[in-house]
Amino acid sequence: MLSQRLYHTPGPKRILALDGGGIRGALTLGFLEKMETILRERYQKPDFRICDYFDLIVGTSTGGIIAASLAIGMSAGEIRDMYLKLGGEIFGKKRSPWLRGETLRLMLSANYDHRPLEAALAETFGDMTMGDQERFKTGVAIMAKRIDTFSTWTINNFKEFKYYKYNKDILVRDWLRATSAAPTFFPAKEIKVKGKTTGVFIDGGVSLANNPALQGLLLATLNGYSLRWPLASDKLMLISVGTGGSRKFMTHEKLAKFRSISWASEIADIFMEDANYFNQTILQLLSDTPGMAPIDNALGNLEEDQAFGKRLTYRRYNVDMTPEALQQIVGRPFAESEAADLRKMDQAKNRFTLAEIGKQAAAQQIQADHLPLNFDV
């Protein structure tokens, strides 16, 4: 029973956190398939699923869709196949701003038709609600930004959470549309909250939770969220998976040509980059896991810092989307233009390449002992 697993089962707890990133979610699935393979071999169960291992799966945007799919018992391979099949439909042809009457509407709305995404979510989740205690096999929490109140919402299936009674009837497909409503990609999603008020929601990536790992830790441990799992390196493990990233650089010449609309297209990436490194800094300060990536040139990887003590077993898997790093992963040269195109979140044509990059990166980064035996089910 889900409530028993979340609240009353003793022993170590395991959290999986999945970043936002649009079509780059195809890359994430390579890491998840590798983890699932390790666990199937360990338990000698060919049908073992991610939901059988992790007690809580949190996600934002495309990571939220993957999180909910995993939490209902889909395998990583099944979700990969779904992404490869539907990616071209969801991020289909961009609407042309040159059609009559379209320019102003697009500036205020979205570049893509949201209906294929909604149809895909309806096919997978039907009329399932966020409070479904039967179909969800494990804990799940998904972030979105309520833009009319400028607040970040995390809807979960924790039965003892004080807002569960208000949020439990929200349709999964509606909440996933909300967390995926990236500005300029898809229009905002209106959802009735508390049965009467209409909230307007956009992508949870427009917050500190595009990388939801730190939020997952807070959900698991803070009194207000009701789980109250112990914070100790031998009792709590957090695995965080990204969708690829790279520090950006711009020439003075390019910046000199920037206008207001240019900054509007860049500001989300700038904020998401800072949010990601803030999350990384806090989690690496709390963890005792060696081999973490450097935060920056001054801080290094924080392995020797003891500001808060080592309270967490933590791993972060991601791909640096630079030509040099991609060549090391895949074994062929990448031009900067190709790497820059792969970094875009709405290029459906890249989904097969991204899936292969994720598969190869996972083979290089993930080892069986990264899922320590003392955390076994």
Q: Which of 271-285, 317-331, 353-367 has the lowest mean pLDDT?
A: 271-285
Is residue 257 scored above 70 in pLDDT? no
Average pLDDT over residues 42-62: 96
Range among 94-98, 153-157, 179-183, 248-252 with highest mean pLDDT value: 153-157
The percent of residues above 70 in pLDDT, for the chain, comes to 88
| Whole-number pLDDT of residue 103 | 43
Is residue 111 scored above 90 in pLDDT? no
For this structure, is 3 an active site residue?
A: no
Cβ burial of 333 (10 Å; 0-12, 13-18, 19+) is exposed
Is residue 108 scored above 50 in pLDDT? no
Mean pLDDT of the chain: 87
Choose among 275, 315, 264: nearest CA to 152. Answer: 275
For residues 299 and 281, what is the distance between their CA atoms, to the nearest angstrom? Answer: 9
| Whole-number pLDDT of residue 104 | 41
For residues 330 and 323, what is the distance between their CA atoms, to the nearest angstrom? Answer: 10
| Whole-number pLDDT of residue 231 | 92
Per-residue HEC secondary structure of the chain comes to CHHHHHHCCCCCEEEEEECCCHHHHHHHHHHHHHHHHHHHHHHCCCCCCHHHHCCEEEEECHHHHHHHHHHCCCCHHHHHHHHHHHHHHHCCCCCCCCCCCHHHHHHHCECCCCHHHHHHHHHHHCCCECCCCCCCCCEEEEEEEECCCCEEEEEECCCCCCCHHHHCCCEHHHHHHHHCCCCECCCCEEEEECCCEEEEEEECCCCCCCCCHHHHHHHHHCHHHCCCCCCCCCCEEEEEECCCECCCCCCHHHHHCCCHHHHHHHHHHHHHHHHHHHHHHHHHHHECCCCCCCCECCCECCCCCCCCCCCEEEEEECCECCHHHHHHHHCCCCCHHHHHHHCCCCCHHHHHHHHHHHHHHHHHHCCHHHCCHHHCC
The tens digit of pLDDT for each residue in 55-107 reads: 999 999 999 999 999 999 999 999 999 989 888 888 766 655 544 444 444 44
- Cβ atoms of 185 and 24 within 8 Å: the answer is no
Is residue 252 scored above 80 in pLDDT? no
- For the chain, the farthest-separated pair of C-alpha atoms sits apart, in whole angstroms, at 62
CA-CA-CA-CA torsion sign (28, 33, 35, 36): positive
Average pLDDT over residues 220-224: 95
Is residue 3 scored above 60 in pLDDT? yes
| Whole-number pLDDT of residue 107 | 41
The tens digit of pLDDT for each residue in 312-335 reads: 999 999 999 999 999 999 999 999
Looking up tokens 């803030």 gives 278
Pairing mode of beta strands 236-241, 313-317? parallel
The tens digit of pLDDT for each residue in 61-70 reads: 999 999 999 9
Is residue 358 scored above 80 in pLDDT? yes
**Total Cβ atoms within 10 A of residue 148:** 14
Pairing mode of beta strands 139-146, 197-203? antiparallel
Is residue 242 scored above 90 in pLDDT? yes
Q: From the candidates 75, 203, 233, 287, which is the catalytic residue?
A: 203
The tens digit of pLDDT for each residue in 8-29 reads: 888 899 999 999 999 999 999 9
Q: How confident is the model at residue 263 (pLDDT cuts 50, 70, 90)?
A: low
- Cβ atoms of 343 and 333 within 8 Å: the answer is no
190, β-bridge pairs:
200
For this structure, is 203 an active site residue?
A: yes
| Whole-number pLDDT of residue 308 | 74
| Whole-number pLDDT of residue 153 | 93
- For residues 264 and 253, the model is more confident at 253
